[in-house]
Amino acid sequence: DTGVSQNPRHKITKRGQNVTFRCDPISEHNRLYWYRQTLGQGPEFLTYFQNEAQLEKSRLLSDRFSAERPKGSFSTLEIQRTEQGDSAMYLCASSQPTGQAFFGQGTRLTVV
Amino acid sequence: KNEVEQSPQNLTAQEGEFITINCSYSVGISALHWLQQHPGGGIVSLFMLSSGKKKHGRLIATINIQEKHSSLHITASHPRDSAVYICAVRSHYGGATNKLIFGTGTLLAVQP
């Protein structure tokens, strides 16, 4: 499968725990985006990588959130001390500089 | 007011009907995407367009840059078309990021 892959697909965690999600983009895509989608809403931008460099972060990304793309390939998104408000679908997308964005299946996080 | 507005928010159609979903945006854009999202979260990119019209199978997307408006049409609709259809724009204000700004989606249900 050469599409965008996200793991895990679902994550249930207790409030206060840390969670980490992974995104494997399409291999030749140098741009990688993280978005968050809550129920009934469209996705909202969280952060963007060009190769290994994190070039933009949304104000939605509080200091409990951190994202990395260490080798310019896969990316991880970590949420520390999770809160119930973090419950959402976390979507990863990759693209070439001006090309079409391809999305993963998303990771659905539920904080209980 | 959202930068990307879609209408209608919900749409129920009978199998075989011609369907139109509208998208209006208020920012300058370099491209507009139409996306499809099924229950479970995964997003599939249907079209990326910056002018004119594109057709793929039973789907047609049009854009009028002057009026800042786009439409997605589905001909001969089928129950398998039932999904959330999302309009997203790549804003000029995104700079080098090319991040997408999403509408809230149109929930389409096609009944047999």
Q: What is the pLDDT of residues B52-79, one digit of tens each?
A: 999 999 999 999 999 999 999 999 999 9
In this prediction, residues A63-90 reach a mean pLDDT of 95
- Say yes or no: B45 contacts chain A, CB-CB below 8 A: yes
B7 at interface of A, judged by CB pairs closer than 8 A: no
Q: In B44-68, which positions are buried (b, 16+ CB within 10 angstroms) versus exposed (e)?
A: ebbbbbeeeeeeeeebbbbbeeeeb
Distance from CA of A50 to the nearest CA of B (A): 8
Contacts of A101 in chain B (CB under 8 A): 33, 45, 48, 100
Q: What's the order of all strands across the beta sheet hosting B59-64? A: B4-7, B19-25, B69-74, B59-64, B52-56
Question: Of B13, B9, B108, B25, nearest to B63 (Cα)?
Answer: B25
**What residues in A contact B99, CB-CB < 8 Å?**
33, 45, 48, 56
Residue A88 has pLDDT above 90, yes or no: yes
pLDDT of A34 strictly over 90: yes
pLDDT at position B93, please?
61
Q: Do B41 and A108 make contact, defined as CB atoms within 8 angstroms?
A: yes
Tokens of B40: 């479970």
Position B49 pLDDT exceeds 70: yes
- pLDDT of residue B95 exceeding 70, the answer is no
pLDDT, position A51: 92
Which chain A residues contact residue B43 at CB under 8 A?
43, 91, 93, 103, 106
Question: Touching check for B102 and chain A: CB below 8 Å?
Answer: yes
How does pLDDT run across A95-104, given as a tens digit for each residue?
A: 987 778 899 9
Torsion sign across C-alpha atoms A106, A49, A29, B57: positive
CB-CB under 8 Å, B104 with A41: yes
Cβ-contact B3, B100 below 8 angstroms: no
Average pLDDT of span B10-22:
97
